[in-house]
C-alpha cells in the first residue's frame, strides 16, 4: 500500500499551468472550487447556456465552453457523467489536446473500457475523492479533506504522478491521504461496490427487511425505523471504529444475534452471485449493457426509477423524515 500526503507533493509542477475542469456537477463544483481556492489556475468548461453556467460564474469561476477550456488547459480534468464522456471527448476535447498535456479523471471507467483513447503523447491520470462532492467541499472549507485515490495510466512526460498529486493537494485530498491504485482496480472495485454493496446491495437488503416486517403485520413506520433509519447509526459506527468496536457499542443481544444469523442472510448463493456480478464487470459485459441502455434513451433505468419511487418504504420514509424534522417540506 502506497499512501501520499501533503509532504509528498511537489506543488510547483502545476505552477504556470491551467487546470480545465469539465463539468460542474457535485464533483466538478467541489474540485474546481477547492483547487481554485488553493491557488491553482482553474477554468471550468461547460455547455454554453447550460444550467451550471450561471452557478459557476456566480461562484467566481472562470467559465467557458468545453472546447475553449480544453484548449486552454494543460490538464483537462473530466468530471461529467460516465455515459457522456466518450461523446464529449470526441466532439469537444480530443482535437484540443496537445503533446505533453494531461487528461485526468475521477473514475477510470472510460479509459479502462476503451471509450476514450488519448494519443500516446498525452498523460492519462486519475485523482478520485472517496466521498461525494458536498463532503469534498465541506471538509476542505473546514480545513481538512476526504481521502482519495491516485492512478497513472500513461506517463508521457515523466511527471504525471506529480501532476495528479498536485491536483489532489489542490482539492484537499492529500491532507487525509491518497492511496495509489490503477485504472483497472479503481474501476472494477468501484462498480462492484456500487452494485453489490453500497447502492444495490444495501437498498435491496433494507427493502427486503422492511417488506418482511410489513407483510408480517407490523406497522410500516416501525419497520422503517428498524430497517432503514437505524442503518445510518450502525454504518457511522463501522465507519469510525470498524466492525469490532461497532459490536462493542451495540447490545450483547444485537451482537450475538447479528453474528449468529448473518450467514443465513448473506449465503453461499449470495457470494456466488457476487462473484458473477464481478465477472460481468471484469469482462466488460456490464459496460456494454450500460452503453446499449444509454444509446436507447435509458428506458430500463427510467422504468426502474419509477418502480423505486413507488416503493412503500419510500412513501413511509418520506412521511417519517418530515414528521421527525429530518427532511424539509418541498
- Residue numbers belonging to the annotated binding site for NADP(+): 24-27, 47, 52, 133
Q: How far apart are CA 130 and CA 146, in angstroms?
A: 6
All cell numbers assigned to 171: 482539492
- The 10 Å Cβ neighbour count of residue 48 is 11
Q: How far apart are CA 159 and CA 96, in angstroms?
A: 21
Helical H runs in the chain? 26-37, 51-58, 66-72, 82-88, 109-112, 133-141, 160-171, 183-192, 200-215, 220-224, 230-249, 252-265, 268-283, 285-295, 299-309, 312-323
Q: Which residues are annotated as a binding site for Mg(2+)?
A: 190, 194, 226, 230
Q: How far apart are CA 149 and CA 106, in angstroms?
A: 8
Q: Which residues are annotated as a binding site?
A: 24-27, 47, 52, 133, 190, 194, 226, 230, 251
- 248 labelled catalytic: no
Chain center to CA of 220: 32
Choosing from 77, 107, 229, 248, which is the catalytic residue? 107
All residues at 6 or more sequence positions from 45 whose CB lies less than 8 Å from its CB, including other chains:
20, 21, 22, 23, 64, 65, 66, 67, 68, 69, 70, 73, 76, 92
Q: How far apart are CA 3 and CA 236, in angstroms?
A: 24
Q: Which residues are annotated as a binding site for substrate?
A: 251
All cell numbers assigned to 153: 495510466
Q: Which residues are designated catalytic?
A: 107
Amino acid at each position: 500500500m502506497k499512501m501520499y500526503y501533503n509532504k509528498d507533493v511537489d506543488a510547483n509542477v502545476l505552477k504556470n499551468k491551467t487546470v480545465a475542469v469539465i463539468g460542474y456537477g457535485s464533483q466538478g463544483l467541489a474540485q474546481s472550487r477547492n483547487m481554485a481556492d488553493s491557488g491553482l489556475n482553474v477554468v471550468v468548461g461547460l455547455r454554453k447556456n447550460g444550467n451550471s453556467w450561471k452557478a459557476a460564474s456566480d461562484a467566481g469561476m472562470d467559465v467557458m465552453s468545453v472546447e475553449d477550456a480544453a484548449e486552454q488547459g494543460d490538464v483537462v480534468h473530466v468530471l461529467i457523467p460516465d455515459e457522456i464522456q466518450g461523446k464529449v471527448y470526441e466532439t469537444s476535447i480530443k482535437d484540443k489536446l496537445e503533446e505533453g498535456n494531461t487528461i485526468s479523471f475521477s473514475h477510470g471507467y472510460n479509459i479502462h473500457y476503451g471509450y476514450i483513447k488519448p494519443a500516446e503523447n498525452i498523460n492519462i491520470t486519475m485523482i478520485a475523492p472517496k466521498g461525494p462532492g458536498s463532503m469534498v467541499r465541506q471538509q476542505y472549507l473546514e480545513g481538512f479533506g476526504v481521502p482519495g485515490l491516485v492512478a497513472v495510466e500513461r506517463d508521457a512526460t515523466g511527471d504525471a504522478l506529480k501532476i495528479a498529486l498536485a491536483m489532489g493537494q489542490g482539492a484537499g485530498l492529500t491532507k487525509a491521504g491518497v492511496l495509489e491504485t490503477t485504472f483497472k482496480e479503481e474501476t472494477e472495485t468501484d462498480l462492484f461496490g456500487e452494485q453489490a454493496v453500497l447502492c444495490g446491495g444495501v437498498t435491496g437488503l433494507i427493502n427486503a427487511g422492511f417488506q418482511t416486517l410489513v407483510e408480517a403485520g407490523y406497522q410500516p413506520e416501525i419497520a422503517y425505523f428498524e430497517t432503514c433509519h437505524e442503518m445510518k447509526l450502525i454504518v457511522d459506527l463501522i465507519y469510525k471504529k470498524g466492525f469490532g468496536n461497532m459490536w462493542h457499542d451495540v447490545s450483547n443481544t444485537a451482537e450475538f444475534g447479528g453474528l449468529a444469523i448473518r450467514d443465513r442472510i448473506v449465503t453461499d448463493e449470495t457470494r456466488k452471485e457476487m462473484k458473477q456480478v464481478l465477472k460481468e464487470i471484469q469482462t466488460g459485459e456490464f459496460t456494454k449493457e450500460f452503453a446499449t441502455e444509454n444509446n436507447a434513451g435509458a428506458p430500463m433505468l427510467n422504468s426502474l426509477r419509477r418502480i423505486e419511487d413507488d416503493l412503500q418504504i419510500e412513501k413511509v420514509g418520506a412521511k417519517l423524515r418530515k414528521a421527525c424534522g429530518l427532511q424539509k417540506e418541498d
